[in-house]
Amino acid sequence: MAKNKPPAAAPQRTDDAPLGQGGERHQTAVSPAERTTTNHGVTISDNQNSLKAGDRGPTLLEDFVLREKIQHFDHERIPERIVHARGSGAHGYFELTDSLEGITRAKILTEVGERTEVFVRFSTVAGGAGSVDTPRDVRGFAVKFYTRDGNWDLVGNNIPVFFIQDAIKFPDLIHAVKMEADRGYPQAASAHDTFWDFVSLLPETTHMIMWAMSDRTLPRSLRMMEGFGVNTFRLLNEDDEATFVKFHWRPMLGLQSTCWDEAVKIAGADPDFHRRDLHEAIEAGDYPEWALGVQLLSQAEADALPFDILDATKLIPEELHPVRLIGRMVLDRNPDNFFAETEQVAFLPTNMPPGIDVSEDPLLQGRLFSYQDTQLSRLGTVNFHQIPVNRAKGCPMQNFQRDGHMQTQVFAGRANYEPNSLADAGEEPGPREDPTHGFRSFRAVTGDQKVRLRAESFADHYSHARLFYSSQSGIEQAHIASGLVFELSKVKLDHVVRRVLSNLRNVDEDLAARVADGLNVPLPAASAPAAEPIDMAPSPALRLIGKYEDSLAGRAIAILVTDGADARIVDAVRAAAESEGAAVKIIAPRIGGVMTDSGEPLAAGGQLGGSPSVLFDAVSLVVSAEGCAALLKESAAIDFLRDAYGHLKAIGFTAEAAPLLEAARILADDGVIDIGDDAEALIAASATRRWDREARVRTLA
């Protein structure tokens, strides 16, 4: 082969038959120069599936292809996390309110009223540690419980499903979504060629793409996100009887997103928007709170589902199996040191107390290895569990592991092995295993063959994507279509765009047509699915709009004032907003504040140019006639109003501010309110976005 000549393109499959199940890729001969090999030159026969004991069995430790691939991936960046690098954390506690006794022997899930210390880390996935808080991205939601039976790490996301079904594809997924290898950009963004090329070739990603293009990936606050364990786990009782479980976190403040244009502008106005919001809420005593919920299924109930419970690209509709709320988590203390705690905290899915166990989910099986290996690379030592934020706090840590880099414990005695008979000589023999109370794995029946196959029950890639889209409100469907248009408009490879549109036709014909129209490209024929999608009953629980009651609690309202502002109206708006749980910030042309009409000084919490309306959930203008005349010369004041209107927020104003509204071309609607003597009307309108305004301010797909 000539120097620098690219290899011939691999044969393209004509449909999305499950990889490893006889697809064309496995039937086509590959020349020696084109073969994928291990780092040591061994040709790989299947780069799509990990080695399992039967097609639905657990992943085998002997799978050196999987281990080498993930281990190399885990060690690519030092010391920043490869994924979830941009994070924010907080301390708090978990309190059980409803016992699962008889279902599990895990004390944290059976002892009502017991408070367990936790540390929680929220994060973005794709960006580096120095990226912004508000990109369109999945958010990590990881909780470390310091239980009396050892640490339990519930490591999940703010979305209940994932892109891939098998962990062997995780390095490929992250390589595709991260900065492109030859140019080092874009940062913290999926709107580029390599990501969409990858997902278009892997239809199993389609369900997650629906979530990623929805408003779920544009959260208003970390305090207003749901969290999910993503994978299927098991709970084991005293008799080792198993129950499948899915974990859910429900925010007490409800769900709220930003608009896409708003998220982009927040990134410029305050790159630390989410981190600051979380820290300041805890400092103010407005402690974020979530309810922990579980979906519990027997083996028979799992078998009755029209999909495989081990498939991480699927969810269990709450209408089929309701979420049972069993506890609450409160975050009430910020870290004392960001690096020591938020950066050094190490989450491991293998951290489980007795009574909680894994399933054979092939994505989870790979995570069990990957997380431990990643921490060894990031933290540089097998003793990372001795870092205070990682140390078991509710129980002693004792075994026969010794020495190693950065060992901080001083072990006494001779016993560093077992079995031993040192007790017969009057010496301390060290700890012993406990078959009664120790961790026991579920005794699963596995296949009798070692295979690299994807189970046939994993072959349906579109039904759940169709379920998610059909469950959304009309507003949310328009946002998904618009998100797809924006992302695909950044893709320069025409054949990739065509392939995405072909796949979208299997989700919803109208969605595919809206996206094609938004791009002004022809709509190609639908791709051939490996399994024919089925229509499932819509699940309103999957919506963001309307799932929780409208509320101002935890939100923020800005009052823009000038010299001569009516102090009575300022006080009325502030009192009404704070009575509903909102924070109020006074914004003035200068940070020194203003003099009100009463002759009293009014301190400013922010300066107009540095506190744009994108940082708030509603705005109010309380200005004098002279102050309004001055603001008419300030583009920041016009933008303050124009953005608030365009982002569908309630706007309150006094009569003196009318010329400013006219200059910003603000049209009257039920969210534009002359507050006069009625501040309550503004507060009522501020509890949600004015969705009926959207059609007047932007074109959606």
pLDDT digits (tens, 9 = 90+) for 163-179: 999 999 999 999 999 99
Q: Say what the pLDDT of residue 561 is.
A: 98
Contact yes or no for 674/650 (Cβ under 8 A): no
Non-local (6+) Cβ contacts of 45 within 8 A are 452
Amino acid in the structure at residue 326: I
pLDDT at 573 over 60: yes
> Does position 14 have pLDDT exceeding 60, yes or no?
no
Are residues 390 and 384 in contact, defined by beta-carbon separation less than 8 angstroms?
yes
Residue 2, pLDDT score: 38
Please tell me the predicted confidence (pLDDT) of residue 88: 98
Cα–Cα distance for residue pair 445/516, rounded to 1 Å: 47
Q: Which among 49, 91, 151, 157 is annotated as catalytic?
A: 157
CA-to-CA distance for 154 and 227, rounded, in angstroms?
A: 10
Give the CA angle between residues 279, 114, 359 to the nearest 5°: 85
**Whether 619 contacts 560, CB under 8 Å:** yes
Predicted pLDDT at 235:
98
Summarize pLDDT for 613-623 with one digit per residue, the tens.
999 999 999 99
CA distances (Å), 321 to each of 244, 295, 302, 511, in order? 12, 6, 10, 28
Report helix, strand or coil for 294: strand
Predicted pLDDT at 3: 37
Residue 458 is classified by DSSP as: G
pTM: 0.90
Of all residues in the chain, what percent carry a pLDDT higher than 90?
Answer: 80
How does 343-352 read in b/e, with b if 16+ C-beta sit within 10 Å?
Answer: bbbbbbbebb
Instruction: Indicate the burial class of 402 (C-beta count within 10 angstroms; 0-12, 13-18, 19 or more).
Output: exposed
Alpha-carbon gap, residue 190 to 206, rounded angstroms:
14
Secondary structure (3-state) at 620: strand
Say what percent of the chain tops pLDDT 70: 96
Q: What is the arithmetic mean of pLDDT over 281-302?
A: 98
Q: Position of tokens 């979208």?
A: 504
DSSP structural state of residue 695: H
Q: Is the pLDDT of residue 498 over 90?
A: yes
CA distance 206 to 220: 25
Higher pLDDT, 637 or 82: 637
Amino acid letter, residue 531? A
**Tally of helices (H runs) and strands (E runs) in the chain:** 19, 20
* pLDDT at residue 7 in the model: 38
Task: Give dist(CA 114, CA 118) in Å, integer.
Answer: 13
CATH class entry, domain 74-390:
mainly beta
Q: What is the mean pLDDT of residues 469-473?
A: 98
pLDDT of 62 over the 90 cut: no
3-state secondary structure of 692: helix
User: Residue 621, by phi and psi: left (phi above 0), alpha (psi -120 to 50) or beta?
Assistant: beta
CATH class for the region spanning 556-697: alpha beta
CA angle in degrees (0–180, nearest 5) for 685-689-695:
120
Supply the DSSP string of 62-115, one letter for each residue.
Answer: T-HHHHHHHHHHHTSSSSS-SSS-SEEEEEEEEEE-S--BTTB--GGGTSTT-E
- What is the average pLDDT across 447-457? 89
Q: Say whether pLDDT at 19 is over 70.
A: no
Residue ranges of alpha helices (H) inside 534-587 are 567-579
Question: Average pLDDT in the 1-30 region?
Answer: 43
> Residue 505: is its pLDDT beyond 70?
yes
- Using pLDDT thresholds of 50, 70 and 90, give the confidence band for residue 77: low
**Distance between CA 76 and CA 435 in Å, rounded?**
39
Answer yes or no: is pLDDT of 64 > 90.
no
**Ordered alpha helix ranges (H), 305-358:** 338
In this prediction, residue 30 carries a pLDDT of 79
Question: For the chain, how are helix, strand and coil distributed in percent, rounded to 5?
Answer: 35, 15, 50
Q: Which two tokens stand for residue 459?
A: 């072959």
- State the CB neighbour count (10 A cutoff) for residue 662: 10
Name beta bridge partners: 150.
147, 148
Per-residue pLDDT band for 368 (boundaries 50, 70, 90) equals very high
Catalytic residue flag (residue 420): no
> How far apart are alpha carbons 431 and 420 in whole angstroms?
11
Q: Which residue has the higher pLDDT, 61 or 257?
A: 257
Report the chain's mean pLDDT, rounded to a whole number.
Answer: 92
Secondary structure (3-state) at 249: strand
Q: How far apart are CA 188 and CA 310, in angstroms?
A: 29
Q: Which residue has the tokens 């078991």?
A: 392
pLDDT above 50: residue 15: no
pLDDT at 406: 84
- Cα separation of 660 and 626, whole Å? 12
The type of residue at 492 is K
Mind listing the pLDDT tens digit for each residue in 88-120? 999 999 999 999 999 999 999 999 999 999 999
Q: What is the pLDDT of residue 396?
A: 80
DSSP state of 569: H
Residue 226's nearest CA partner among 287, 140, 100 is: 140
- Retrieve residue 434's tokens: 């406990």
Comparing CA positions, the residue from 496, 495, 488 lying closest to residue 190 is 488
pLDDT at 4 over 50: no
179: amino acid identity, one letter: M
* Euclidean distance between CA atoms 79 and 154, whole angstroms: 23
**pLDDT bucket at 253, cuts 50 / 70 / 90:** very high
If pLDDT is split at 50, 70 and 90, which confidence band does 32 have? confident
- Residue pair 164/204 in contact by the 8 Å Cβ criterion: yes
Residue 292 has pLDDT above 70, yes or no: yes
Write down the domain spans for the chain.
Answer: 74-390, 464-542, 556-697
Cα–Cα distance list, 54 to 447, 461, 466 (Å): 4, 21, 29
Q: How high is the pLDDT of residue 1? A: 35
519 Cβ partners below 8 Å, 6+ apart?
A: 485, 488, 489, 497
Q: Which helix (H) or strand (E) holds 157?
A: strand 150-157
- Residue 27 binned pLDDT confidence (cut-offs 50, 70, 90): low
Strand, helix or coil at 9?
coil
Bigger pLDDT: 74 vs 136: 136
The answer, yes or no, to whether the previous bond of 79 is cis (omega within 30 of 0) is: yes
Helical axes 273-283 vs 260-269, angle rounded to 10°: 80
Tell me the average pLDDT across 488-493.
98
pLDDT exceeds 80 at position 10: no
Q: Is 157 a catalytic residue?
A: yes
Stretch among 142-146, 291-295, 373-377, 493-497 having the lowest mean pLDDT = 373-377
- Radius of gyration of the chain from Cα atoms? 28
From 316, 290, 304, 320, select the one nearest 231 (Cα to Cα): 316
**To which residue do tokens 């796949």 refer?**
503
In contact, 133 and 271? CB cutoff 8 Å: yes
User: 530 near 16, Cβ under 8 Å?
Assistant: yes
Residue 650's pLDDT is: 98
Backbone dihedral angles phi then psi of residue 618, each to the nearest 5 degrees: -160, 160
Of 180-189, 217-226, 387-396, minimum mean pLDDT range:
387-396
Residues 6+ apart with CB under 8 A from 585: 556, 557, 558, 559, 605, 606, 611, 616
- Which amino acid does the sequence have at 264? V
Tracing tokens 């997902």 back to the chain, one arrives at 199
The residue annotated as part of the active site, out of 49, 84, 464, 506, is 84
The predicted model gives 568-576 an average pLDDT of 96
CATH code for the structural domain at 464-542: 1.20.1370.20
Average pLDDT over residues 512-529: 98
Sign of the torsion formed by the C-alpha atoms of 375, 380, 381 and 384: negative
Backbone region of residue 121 per phi and psi (left: phi > 0; alpha: psi in -120 to 50; beta: other values)? beta
